[in-house]
């Protein structure tokens, strides 16, 4: 475990000694800030209208969770689609190019120390993005009383979804020396997994349902409503395991091919 | 300490190392010598557990590299050809990272880092980003990295490549100072490195071991022969004939000619009196003797002989064809090396 943390901390620090962390954080802060502000403005406008018309009398007040937080975090997951490849593309490709992979592979480490460490390092940076979102959302707690439990569940969902994307990205970073190739492959795969469920709207056969299940985004929907479903947990955990397992296989094959 | 038995490594159809066997005892410094692409790096990577051998076994300190890679890696310090450095880290932070992944207990890390930094004379760059270091310092930090867990075995892949002459001397001195407490395998294609630092030389070519002995024995073993460079003013044919007729002379070849003077390279039996007889022969014939320089067959010549004999056997119809360029190349290379040494 100590080895995993050592690797994870180095990866995490590297993001901050290179421009990557700042670019990713800044892009995310701006885009999420925009979504959040626009959503909030719309909500305020809408609820002002409602009370002006007096139509809301007797009906429960509009729910901040449902009208502000849920759409903002939903949009955020799309931004992550673009940011995840930027985070993972360097993980192994850079070390393969510069030859530092030799240091890791000739140190008394097991493959899973290296892979888990790198994935955790990436996940830490990703958690920083979530923190930016939390800072934005926390403003709501000053002026209103949103329910924190669905928010916590959404964040858990985002963490799992991000973990899945990063695990797949980690794997694709092991297959090449070229960071651009790793990034492009990751983006392509994630985008495909993102839109895979569209087919199910007109294709109700076995294949349609399979695509629906394999897609990343539908599994987040329940989380964003504050619902934890076993099948979603199973999906994310098995996807993360698969990504990390493939990385391990790929790292092993490096020794045979090198 | 290190035992390699019948190791073969294939990459697809290509054989990088073929049936290599050797042993290295504790405290020895062994040099792998061979042209680029001979299989030195592959052999070293197999020893460090980076690559598994296709067939054969390699053991380090009694542990098999395929079956017990972690134990082997704990006991080996490895400096690859390009030092594995993270340019975005400071030297200190980098060494602490390496110390941690090598499994050094937390409380000893500072002490070990201090120790290797002193050992490799890197004190002045401890707080410098590795990306900003000169090549010489990078190589030293690479060595520091290999030494940090005080390994029993050091594997150094071309530790002096790309350094300037002063740095080469420093690194060699450092390597020599490590002898005794560590068993060292280093690879190089530069010969003085081997004669200057190694107790034993393993000459490897096209994936096979061609010879393995001390530098002195190799020199003696390859030939009981020497060569003399002799600068004579006189008729070319006459001089050649006279030199060839002298007892103990094996071969005479012209190195260069200018203004009626020629420099001849005379290959002779090992006999201290031959240069004297050659001088007498020239002077008694009334020709001008400008210089006479006995040459000892250096490791370069041995190396070229050993690594090209296979080719000679293939091009059997042109005997010695590969030895003429060898003889020509050797003095200039040696001059380069001497310049470097100076």
- Residues B289, B231 contacting (CB under 8 angstroms): yes
The pLDDT assigned to B326 comes to 37
Using a pLDDT cut of 70, give the percent of chain A over it: 95
More confidently predicted of A77 and B102: B102
Please, what's the largest Cα pairwise distance for chain A? Answer: 73
DSSP three-state, residue A213: helix
Question: Which residues on B lie below 8 Å from A108 (Cβ)?
Answer: 70-71, 73-74, 101-103
Three-state DSSP class for B120? coil
Cβ neighbourhood burial of B284 (10 Å; 0-12, 13-18, 19+): exposed
Share of chain A above pLDDT 90, in %: 54
The pLDDT of residue B213 is 82
A109 touches chain B (CB under 8 A): yes
- The predicted-structure confidence for A19-56, as pLDDT tens digits, reads as follows 999 999 999 999 999 988 888 888 888 888 877 776 55
Q: Express as a percent the part of chain B with pLDDT over 90.
A: 28
Q: Mean pLDDT over all residues of chain B?
A: 81
Looking at residue A108, its pLDDT comes to 92
Indicate the average pLDDT of chain A: 88
Please answer yes or no on whether B80 and A105 come within 8 Å at the CB atom.
Answer: no
Tokens of B283: 């002077």
Neighbour tally for B235: CB within 10 Å:
14
Structure tokens at B261: 């003077």
Q: Give the integer Cα–Cα distance in Å for A124 and A118.
A: 10
The beta strand positions in B191-324, using DSSP E, are: 200-205, 208-213, 225-233, 249-258, 261-269, 288-296
Determine contact: B156 vs chain A, CB below 8 A: no
Q: What is the pLDDT of residues B190-200, one digit of tens each?
A: 777 777 788 88
Residue with tokens 């390496």: B98
pLDDT digit string, tens, across residues B232-267: 888 888 888 888 888 888 888 888 888 888 888 888
The predicted complex's ipTM stands at 0.86
Tens digits of residue pLDDT in B3-57: 999 999 888 888 889 899 999 988 889 998 888 888 888 999 999 988 888 899 9
The beta-carbon neighbor of A108 closest among B52, B103, B145 is B103
Buried b (16+ CB within 10 A) or exposed e, A164-189: bbbbbbbbbbbbbbbbeebbebbbeb
Helix H or strand E encompassing B79: strand B76-79
* Degrees to nearest 5, angle at CA B83 with B78 and B87: 135
**Cα distance between residue B124 and residue B109, in whole Å:** 19
Lowest mean pLDDT among A119-128, A134-143, B289-298: B289-298
pLDDT one-digit tens code per residue, A78-101: 888 899 999 999 999 999 999 999
Of A214, A246, A220, give the one whose Cα is nearest residue A233: A220
Contact yes or no for B153/B60 (Cβ under 8 A): yes
Query: B203-240, pLDDT tens digit by residue?
Result: 888 888 888 888 777 766 655 567 788 888 888 888 88
pLDDT at B282 over 50: yes
| Model confidence at B334: pLDDT above 60 | no
Sheet holding B63-64, edge to edge: B14-24, B2-11, B55-60, B63-64
pTM: 0.80
Residue A1 touches chain B, beta carbons under 8 Å: no
Structure-model confidence comparison of residues A7 and B244, the more confident one: A7
The answer on pLDDT for B335 being more than 60 is: no
The 10 Å Cβ neighbour count of residue B134 is 12
Residue among B11, B89, B101 whose CB faces A6 most closely = B101
pLDDT band of residue B179 (cuts 50, 70, 90) is confident
CB contact under 8 A, B82 and A104: no
Average pLDDT over residues B69-87: 92
Indicate the pLDDT class of residue B325, thresholds 50, 70 and 90: very low
Task: Say how far apart CA A45 and CA A48 lie, in whole Å.
Answer: 5
d(CA A51, CA A44): 11
Query: pLDDT per residue over A126-153, tens digit each?
Result: 999 999 989 988 888 888 788 888 889 9
Q: Residues, chain B, total?
A: 342
Candidates B9, B84, B98: best to mutate against A (most CBs of A within 10 A) is B84
- Please check the confidence at residue B320 and state whether its pLDDT lies above 50: no
Which residue reads 């008394």 in tokens? A108
- Segment holding B24, helix H or strand E: strand B14-24
pLDDT given at position B338:
44
The reported pLDDT for the residue numbered B310 is: 46
Residues of A in contact with B76 (CB under 8 A): 106
Per DSSP, the three-state class of A195 is helix
Confidence category of residue B296, pLDDT binned at 50, 70, 90:
low
Q: Give B120-136 pLDDT, tens digit per residue.
A: 888 999 999 999 998 88
| Min distance B245 CA to chain A CA atoms (Å) | 57
């Amino acid at each position: 475990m100590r080895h995993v943390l050592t690797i994870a901390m180095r990866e995490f620090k590297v993001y901050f000694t290179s421009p990557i962390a700042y670019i990713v954080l800044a892009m995310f802060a701006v885009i999420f800030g925009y979504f959040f502000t626009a959503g909030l403005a719309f909500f305020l406008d809408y609820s002002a209208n409602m009370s002006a018309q007096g139509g809301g009398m007797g009906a429960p007040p509009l729910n901040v969770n449902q009208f502000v937080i849920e759409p903002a975090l939903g949009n955020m997951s799309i931004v992550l689609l673009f940011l995840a490849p930027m985070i993972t593309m360097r993980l192994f490709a850079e070390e393969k190019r510069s030859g530092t992979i030799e240091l890791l592979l000739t140190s008394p480490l097991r493959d899973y120390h290296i892979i888990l460490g790198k994935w955790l390092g990436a996940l830490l940076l990703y958690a920083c993005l979530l923190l930016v979102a939390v800072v934005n959302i926390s403003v709501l707690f000053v002026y209103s009383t949103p329910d924190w439990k669905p928010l916590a569940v959404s964040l858990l969902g985002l963490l799992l979804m991000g973990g899945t994307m990063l695990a797949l990205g980690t794997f694709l970073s092991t297959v090449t020396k070229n960071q651009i190739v790793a990034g492009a492959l990751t983006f392509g795969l994630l985008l495909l997994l993102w839109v895979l469920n569209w087919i199910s709207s007109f294709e109700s056969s076995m294949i349609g349902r399979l695509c629906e299940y394999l897609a990343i985004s539908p599994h987040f929907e329940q989380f964003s409503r504050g619902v934890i479903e076993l099948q979603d947990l199973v999906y994310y955990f098995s996807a993360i395991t698969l990504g990390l397992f493939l990385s391990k296989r790929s790292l092993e094959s490096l020794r045979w091919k090198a | 300490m290190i035992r390699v038995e019948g190791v073969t490594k294939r990459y697809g159809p290509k054989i990088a190392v073929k049936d290599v066997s050797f042993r290295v005892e504790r405290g020895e410094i062994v040099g792998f010598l061979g042209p680029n692409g001979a299989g030195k790096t592959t052999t070293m990577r197999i020893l460090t557990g980076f690559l598994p051998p296709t067939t054969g076994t390699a053991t380090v300190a009694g542990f098999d590299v395929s079956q017990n890679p972690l134990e082997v890696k704990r006991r080996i310090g490895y400096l690859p050809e390009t030092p594995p450095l993270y340019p975005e880290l400071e030297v200190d932070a980098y060494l602490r990272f390496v110390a941690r992944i090598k499994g050094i207990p937390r409380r000893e890390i500072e002490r070990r880092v201090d120790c290797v930094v002193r050992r490799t004379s890197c004190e002045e760059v401890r707080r410098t980003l590795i990306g900003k270091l000169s090549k010489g310092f990078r190589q030293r930090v690479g060595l520091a990295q290999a030494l940090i867990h005080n390994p029993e075995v050091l594997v150094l892949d071309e530790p002096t490549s790309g350094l300037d002459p002063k740095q080469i001397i420093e690194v060699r001195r450092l390597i020599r100072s490590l002898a005794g407490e560590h068993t060292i395998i280093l690879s190089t294609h530069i010969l003085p490195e081997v004669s200057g630092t190694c107790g034993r030389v393993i000459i490897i070519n096209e994936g096979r071991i061609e010879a393995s002995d001390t530098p002195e024995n190799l020199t003696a073993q390859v030939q009981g022969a020497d060569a003399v460079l002799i600068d004579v003013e006189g008729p070319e044919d006459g001089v050649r004939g006279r030199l060839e007729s002298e007892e103990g002379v094996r071969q005479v070849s012209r190195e260069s000619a200018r203004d009626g003077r020629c420099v001849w390279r005379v290959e002779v039996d090992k006999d201290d009196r031959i240069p004297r007889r050659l001088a007498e022969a020239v002077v008694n014939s009334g020709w001008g003797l400008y210089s006479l320089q006995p040459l000892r067959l250096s490791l370069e010549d041995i190396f070229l002989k050993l690594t090209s004999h296979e080719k000679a056997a293939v091009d059997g119809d042109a005997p010695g064809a590969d030895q003429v360029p060898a003889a020509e190349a050797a003095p200039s290379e040696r001059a380069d090396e001497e310049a470097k040494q100076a």
